[in-house]
Structure 1
Amino acid sequence: MKFTFVFLFVLVNGCLLFGQSTFTGSVIDVSTGLSVPDVEIIAFPNHLITNTDAKGNFTFQRISFPFTIQVRHIGYKEELKTIQREDIQPYIITLTPVSIPLSEINILEDLAQERKNPVSFSSISAVTISTDLGDRPLPEILENTAGLYASRDGGGSGDASVMIRGFGQENIAVLLNGVPINGAENGLVYWNNWIGLTEAAGSIQIQKGIGASKVAMNSVGGTINIVTKKQSMHKSALFSYNLTDYGNQKATFIYNSGQLKNGSSVSLLVSRTTGQGYIDATYVNGWAYYLNINKQLTKKQYLSFTMLGGPEKHGQRNLKLSKEEIDHFGYKYNKDWGSLNGELKNTSENFYHKPFISLNHFYTPDINTTIANSVYFSPGWGGGKWSDSFIYGPGIFDFRNASGQLDWDSIYQYNRANQSTFVLDNGDTVSGFSKLVQTDFLANHLWAGWVTNIEKEFNPDTKLITGLHYRYFSSTLTEKVSDLLGGQFYIDDYSWSLAGVAGRNQIKKPGDIIRMQNGALLHQINVFVQLEKKTEKANLFLAGTISNSTQSRHDVYNYPDDKWSAKVNKSGFDLKGGINYNFSATQNLYVNGGYFSKVPYFKFIFGNFTNVPVQNIQNEKVTTFETGYGFKNEKVNIIANAYYTLWQDVSFLSNEYIQLENNQMTRAMVNGLDATHIGIEFQANYKFNDKINTGAFLSLGNWKWSNDVEARLFDDNDQLVDTVQVYAKGLYVGGQPQFQSGIFLNTIVLDFFHIKYDIRYNTRNYAMFDPTQRTTKDDNTQSLLLPSWFVSNIRLQIPLNLFQNEMLIYANCNNLFNTHYILKGEDGSTHDMDTFRGFWSFGRTIDVGFKLNF
């Protein structure tokens, strides 16, 4: 009923829109000629508000002539312009810098600029994020980027992954306002922890290859730089609401104080997300908040405080599915849950809260020097549901009913009927204990760090940037009993502990720790320097970074009397450089290259799951080169590039952070792999006029593993069960289609009805190889090649004025033709669909919503 009401609301309001026009323009810095993003523009007398996008362009969707615009942005002189005629488009606005220039405020963010930085990049605006994303996780807004693949994987709210040029998230730098937010232990990004970024993001820039960041050491595939919204110079508020056809809904309120008399400004965001989810048992209940306070201290100093977070709980689908299960139970099937007393009970649930707090200070002691400092603090607490079985008894996933769901009644009966006895270490004999319990896997941590940048301009053509990034990280991983599932207590026999029982109580009740109590302590520091040189036609940069990491592990479960490991100290470095040459007003050519020696993540250094570090583990080495060509005029924007990356001494862990389905499954810890990634990318846009523009993208990769290695196999209790030879040489890298292409069309019909349509084609998508299934030298069969697919989306937007307030009504239809395809998965023993396990896509989904500015 709610969905029908909102949809009718969208249609009925379309009749209010005739008699007004669209007005477009751009904003540039008069001193540099470069575009200025995130500029706030207010149109009077109707008080309409918009912002420039990442390329400095802006649009008023519904406006009547004549009107006056007020242009205000920190670091620039305010401008007032009166627009008399409709034919003066696009309208160019020039801003004059005052006090601290915007470029100096942005030096921490490491954003690339067209025809300047010799890297491949693309940008997504705040408007696109807020209207096109809907209920999808944040990475999916990047899906029309050449060489990038985003997927929802299990289908839970925020459960997503992204790959660039065949490299996974742990080898992609994800930055928030220039600060890395990849996990220090493992490099992963849990997007559900950053649910607040969806509304707080002012822009997202994807930099492929070496990127422009000076603090990111893991940008093998590329960098995703998320920049939060800048301060609004005018008092305003916004309310938005989004509703999907499967019941998920989000309500958001944003308040901007505008610039106050004391020179400060405040922005506040609060949002609420609830729903049952598209996939069975993937319910969501979450909040998000964002607070930004800015203060111009003096003409030379500026202060910015940011806090954001998103406490949430959502059901998950972690167990991969077979084609047989999909055919029998359907595409929404989730075998992680069952029904108990008429209520849903899931074994896979995530609950977490990770605030992020930062304080940035910018200082310009003279016209040629800028000093920027950022301190940040980010705790995290929560975890996910897990389970544990006594000794080698049946696991929780072994109890299923005819409908394919977990049979909770049988699990309770199994525990209640247990007649076994057990002799404790103290000699007592006990009975009535549960042989299977549900637990909470808790992962609490604390990040804190400091980033400093010093930028010195020796002359108009030469600039030196130097600084450092220090990061502190500590974590504690524990497993606690949460539900005895019918028994009176549980027993931890400590058979998996290196110390044995060691006098500890073996009787466990809800809230008691079992099996795991360990964590990490890391100190990381990067020192960087970058030299930039420009001539009339060329921009050159050379950069280097030296890094040092001190890592130690604590483990109370295995070492109750001496929990700390020895400290492991490792150093790395990177060298990179490039040149961009503008050989005409419309054309440019760039070349870049780099060599990285990257310190392995904590999870690989302590890859034995004990306090004994892995011996002789090597730094990962990356050698990369890229060249690209760009053409841009008023109508056409073309970017083409080719890249080569040699990746050596790679480590990875299979089945990471998911509970294994049965006692026969293992996790494989692999070290020393090599891979070669070669590819070409092409992206083009063509603007017919102010109402029609279209574009296309294409990426073709050839990514292969190039050697055989040894792997250690661990069971679900982190016990080493075997060491095997893995024959991976010649296998294609899986997880991302090696051929991707797409076409989009944006048009305005009847001067008010905005339509966006895109279609993508993906092929050469290989299953990820399972090290445990590649132990035979004669087995040189490629991993399963997954079926190719087309997928289309259509988006409708209707801007209008409601009682002198700007309003936008929109509707999105994702997967228009209801195509079901395989996102990704793991190859099986026979390398065909019979033994493949993976995740299939969502079908057609629709969401509608509105945004009201007032």
Structure 2
Amino acid sequence: MKNLFTALFALLLPVLATAQLSISGKVTDQTGAPLPGATVTINPANTTISDGNGKYQLSNVPNGNYTLKVTYIGYLPFEKAVVLTVNTILNISLNNSTTLTEEITVSATRASNNSPTAFTNLSKKDIDKNNSGRGFEYLLEQTPSTVVTSNAGAGVGYTSIRIRGSDATRTNVTLNGIPINDAEDQGVYFVDLPDLASSVDNIQVQRGVGTSTNGAGAFGASINIQTTTRHDTAYAELNNSAGSYGTVKNTVAVGTGLLGGHFSFDGRLSRMNSDGYIDRAFSHLKSYFLTGAYYGKNSVLRLNVFSGHEQTYQAWDGVPQDSVNAGNRRYNELGYINSSNSYYKNQTDNYTQNYYQLLYNQQITSKLSFSGALHYTKGYGYYEEYKNAEPLANYGVTPVVVGGKTIDTTDLVRRLWLNNDFYGLTYNLNYKPDDKLNMILGGAYNEYKGAHYNNIEWTQESTNIPPDYEYERDNAKKTDFNVFGRAEYHTGKVLLYGDMQYRHIYYSFLGFNAALNSAQQSVELNFFNPKVGITYEIDPHSNVYASLAVGNHEPNRSDYTGSSPQDRPKPENLKDLEVGYRFSGPAFSASINGFYMLYKNQLVLTGKLDTVGEAIRTNIKDSYRAGIEASAKVKIAEPLNWSINATLSTNKVKNFPQYLQNYDTGTLDLVQYKKTDIAYSPDFVGSSVISYRLVKNGEVAFITKYVSRQYLDNTSTQSRSLDGYLVNDVRLNYNFKIKGVKNVGVGLLVNNIFSKKYQSDGATYPDIEGGKVVNYNYFFPQAPINFLASLNLKF
């Protein structure tokens, strides 16, 4: 099979065309001033960006008839039919748009082209090409230092991402500048927003501390997402996917275009279902997205209303290692009923989130603009689970006597509820008096109110408790205020960058008091996060940069609820040094970035238990990540392109204490490690995408991902690790027109074409039994060869 695919792929390599031409010129405004950063396209596979002097060049273009398109924020699009028979020079002058654009909605939290930080931008075209129906995180899988995994093994349902080894709790995610990280556990659950990708216009991924942003501090990376922006013409779109493991996605999207030169309305309705690769790991997902906007000459007002609902069978504990070793990679033990040797059908997670965003942009003067947003998110739902032989005392229930027999344990079904409200405002002022200086003042104030309560739905034994018996409740409130100022100053070929943020947090929760009794507790934190950097422009195509940034990060909910005031964990601190080089040309672009991330008081699991027996995290004084990220894109010939990136890193924790439960003695035994690897931090991550344009509107891509060994804890113990893996996919896309349909797009994504058996994530729970360490490892096996076929119709 491998030889067959290799031979087939080799047949796709191009024969270099003999008549390759170029078109070049300069993009300016009506006054003749150059417009750097304008997007110039002659066909979907040949696009470039104008340089600092407004100059552009498109090379390796076969002779023929084309439509040259130029777009630039704040200016009307330009189109011109061109006939290429010889090398051509074409200068372009753009007219100012009569309406304001929405770029300033997210510009305050984004890095600019010359910012001294490591980032990757994904355009609408990049997103659509990979939007086959898998989880949102898979759109980012080919960005540097990124590892993506799926609980259900087939890419639908709960999916997660790590960037530079940092999980979602340390990755700041904003949607139109509004934070979407959970305020308490700080995770991001894109399963609650199924098919979000179909309503996204562009994404920027920053690695490291990055620029100041809203919400929880970026402690490893930040993901900034902008949803649907203006469509000037009316459209309707049907997008359907179907594939392995019962995976189906149906999407309907419509838009009015610009009405009367001022109004636009867009809507989307989606549903996604999958059986999952893991046993019973089904997903039933649905969502909608509605947006309307008013465009004035100097302002834009947009209202977004969107919602997502998910029901998934629980697969979040993974597959026991013994089952994987025995060949059953799909075994799911959650929901097992001992008494009937069967599984509970409603062992599910159920959650709904409704979002409301009111976004406003105002061009106050030619030099000063304002962007602000009001937002509200309502989330509610529960997960239901079957528990075997549970002690009634754990639920505040008095044992009962039936027929002379005392009942103090029972099988039961419980629901763990979360009902929360998140609301606030964000703002930024952008002052740009000339081409040399760009200043931003921004910030946000957000409040969160979360009710955690747990109910018993059913008991096997008679316990005399009422229906929906509530045995536990925790009401939490969190306020988060931040303000930041950022400036970029150009002097000659040098850009100087400065960024300062102040953040204040108040958090009230149910925890333990000094006497270790349950009581409402609170904590206040103040963070100062400065950042400085410099960029030197070598020429219009290349620059070098360096930056030093400080980030601070608060502990999460379980860190506080499981501790008393005298042993609360400290906030984490990160100092991030980034040094890099970037080159961008019409046929070749590349970057290399070195980073050193020094942590103080990083929070890690050690195996130690709190006063009620729950695993807790402990501050580790010293740990670090150091590495090199390199990426490149090369246009080998007109139909053949290659994108590649690789990260080589070392990720270490010093003086790590691990506590193991010793069941022989009933004690916790300490094992001290001097210097070990940070968990879930591979030394090498690399990816490659080789794409070949078979015909004018068709493309085949060969996609490769390699991730080296990952340790499941901080001890560098190989028996508690995930083997490295190399996985290959093939993606086919073809677009054509038929009468009455603007575009018909067909696609096929074949994942894991060589059926590599691998696990991309896992967990470990070691202890001591019979005088030796016993590992209880759980893995998340990923599916063998599987596919998703898609059909897209645009009207």
**Range class of TM-score, shorter chain:** 0.7 to 0.9
Instruction: Name the CA distance, whole Å, in 1 between partners of 2:134 and 2:412.
Output: 33
- State the Cα distance separating 1:172 from its structure 2 match: 1.2
- State the Cα distance separating 1:765 from its structure 2 match: 2.1
- State the Cα distance separating 1:78 from its structure 2 match: 4.9
Task: Tell me which of 562, 565, 569 is aligned to 1:607.
Answer: 562
Partner of 1:842: 783
- State the Cα distance separating 1:614 from its structure 2 match: 5.3
Unaligned runs of 5+ in 1: 1-22, 396-419, 491-506, 714-720, 775-779
Partner of 1:808: 745
Q: 1:456 to 1:620 in 2, by over 3 A?
A: same
Task: Tell me which of 474, 478, 493 is aligned to 1:537.
Answer: 493
Task: Tell me which of 677, 680, 694 is aligned to 1:732.
Answer: 677
What amino acid does structure 1 have at the position aligned with 2:601? Answer: D
Moved more, 24-33 or 429-438: 24-33
Q: Any conservation in 2 of the 1:704–1:730 contact (CA below 8 Å)?
A: yes
Instruction: Name the CA distance, whole Å, in 2 between partners of 1:51 and 1:293.
Output: 33
Structure 1 position 750 matched with structure 2 position 695 = yes
Q: Any conservation in 2 of the 1:231–1:267 contact (CA below 8 Å)?
A: no
Q: Secondary structure at the match of 1:567?
A: strand
Partner of 2:571: 619
Instruction: Name the CA distance, whole Å, in 2 between partners of 1:79 and 1:553.
Output: 56
- State the Cα distance separating 1:462 from its structure 2 match: 1.7
Partner of 1:678: 626
Deviations 1:709-759 (A, max 9, x none): 58799xxxxxxx987756354121122422122322111113343101022
Task: Tell me which of 768, 774, 797 is aligned to 2:733.
Answer: 797
Q: Any conservation in 1 of the 2:118–2:207 contact (CA below 8 Å)?
A: yes
Matches within 5 A, 1:72-111: 75-85=74-84, 95-98=94-97, 102=101, 105-108=104-107, 110-111=109-110
Deviations 1:499-526 (A, max 9, x none): xxxxxxxx42442212x21031011101
Partner of 1:449: 424
Instruction: Name the CA distance, whole Å, in 1 between partners of 2:794 and 2:331.
Output: 40
Partner of 2:366: 367
Structure 1 position 197 matched with structure 2 position 196 = yes
Q: 1:96 to 1:268 in 2, by over 3 A?
A: same
Q: Secondary structure at the match of 1:130?
A: helix
- State the Cα distance separating 1:204 from its structure 2 match: 2.1
Partner of 2:707: 762
What amino acid does structure 2 have at the position aligned with 1:520? Answer: A
Q: Any conservation in 1 of the 2:348–2:383 contact (CA below 8 Å)?
A: yes
- State the Cα distance separating 1:209 from its structure 2 match: 1.2
Q: Any conservation in 2 of the 1:308–1:355 contact (CA below 8 Å)?
A: yes
What amino acid does structure 2 have at the position aligned with 1:795? Answer: R
Matches within 5 A, 1:507-656: 507-514=464-471, 516-554=472-510, 565-608=520-563, 612-613=564-565, 615=567, 617-652=569-604
Structure 1 position 463 matched with structure 2 position 425 = no
Instruction: Name the CA distance, whole Å, in 1 between partners of 2:508 and 2:369.
Output: 36
Structure 1 position 142 matched with structure 2 position 152 = no
Q: Any conservation in 2 of the 1:49–1:806 contact (CA below 8 Å)?
A: no
Q: Secondary structure at the match of 2:217?
A: coil
Q: 1:127 to 1:329 in 2, by over 3 A?
A: same
Instruction: Name the CA distance, whole Å, in 2 between partners of 1:791 and 1:206.
Output: 23
What amino acid does structure 1 have at the position aligned with 2:252? Answer: F
Instruction: Name the CA distance, whole Å, in 1 between partners of 2:667 and 2:131.
Output: 45
What amino acid does structure 1 have at the position aligned with 2:145? Answer: G
Q: 1:526 to 1:684 in 2, by over 3 A?
A: same
Q: Any conservation in 1 of the 2:482–2:504 contact (CA below 8 Å)?
A: yes
Instruction: Name the CA distance, whole Å, in 1 between partners of 2:344 and 2:89.
Output: 57
Matches within 5 A, 1:107-506: 107-108=106-107, 110-114=109-113, 116-155=114-153, 157-261=156-260, 263-296=262-295, 298-328=296-326, 330-337=328-335, 345-346=344-345, 348-388=347-387, 392=391, 422=400, 435-484=410-459, 486-488=460-462, 490=463
- State the Cα distance separating 1:195 from its structure 2 match: 1.4
Instruction: Output the TM-score relative to the length of structure 2.
Output: 0.84
- State the Cα distance separating 1:817 from its structure 2 match: 0.3
Q: Any conservation in 2 of the 1:668–1:711 contact (CA below 8 Å)?
A: no
What amino acid does structure 2 have at the position aligned with 1:183? Answer: D
Q: Secondary structure at the match of 1:366?
A: coil
Moved more, 64-73 or 299-308: 64-73
Instruction: Name the CA distance, whole Å, in 2 between partners of 1:344 and 1:802.
Output: 50
- State the Cα distance separating 1:28 from its structure 2 match: 6.8
What amino acid does structure 2 have at the position aligned with 1:528? Answer: F
| Structure showing the higher strand proportion among its residues | 2
Instruction: Name the CA distance, whole Å, in 2 between partners of 1:394 and 1:599.
Output: 34
Instruction: Name the CA distance, whole Å, in 2 between partners of 1:331 and 1:58.
Output: 52
Instruction: Name the CA distance, whole Å, in 2 between partners of 1:726 and 1:691.
Output: 57
Instruction: Name the CA distance, whole Å, in 2 between partners of 1:191 and 1:619.
Output: 26
Q: 1:221 to 1:333 in 2, by over 3 A?
A: same
Q: Secondary structure at the match of 2:127?
A: helix
Q: 1:390 to 1:315 in 2, by over 3 A?
A: closer
Structure 1 position 820 matched with structure 2 position 749 = no
Deviations 1:403-451 (A, max 9, x none): xxxxxxxxxxxxxxxxx96269xxx999789701111111121111211
Count of residue pairs brought into register by the alignment? 748
Q: Secondary structure at the match of 1:513?
A: strand
Q: Any conservation in 2 of the 1:26–1:52 contact (CA below 8 Å)?
A: no
Partner of 1:696: 644
- State the Cα distance separating 1:686 from its structure 2 match: 0.7
Deviations 1:194-220 (A, max 9, x none): 214121122222111122343355212
What amino acid does structure 2 have at the position aligned with 1:844? Answer: I
- State the Cα distance separating 1:99 from its structure 2 match: 5.1
Unaligned runs of 5+ in 2: 1-21
Instruction: Name the CA distance, whole Å, in 1 between partners of 2:585 and 2:788.
Output: 36
Q: Any conservation in 1 of the 2:23–2:57 contact (CA below 8 Å)?
A: yes
Deviations 1:512-559 (A, max 9, x none): 212x2103101110111112101332222101111111111248x999
Partner of 2:13: none
- State the Cα distance separating 1:291 from its structure 2 match: 1.3
Q: 1:843 to 1:563 in 2, by over 3 A?
A: same
Q: 1:249 to 1:508 in 2, by over 3 A?
A: same
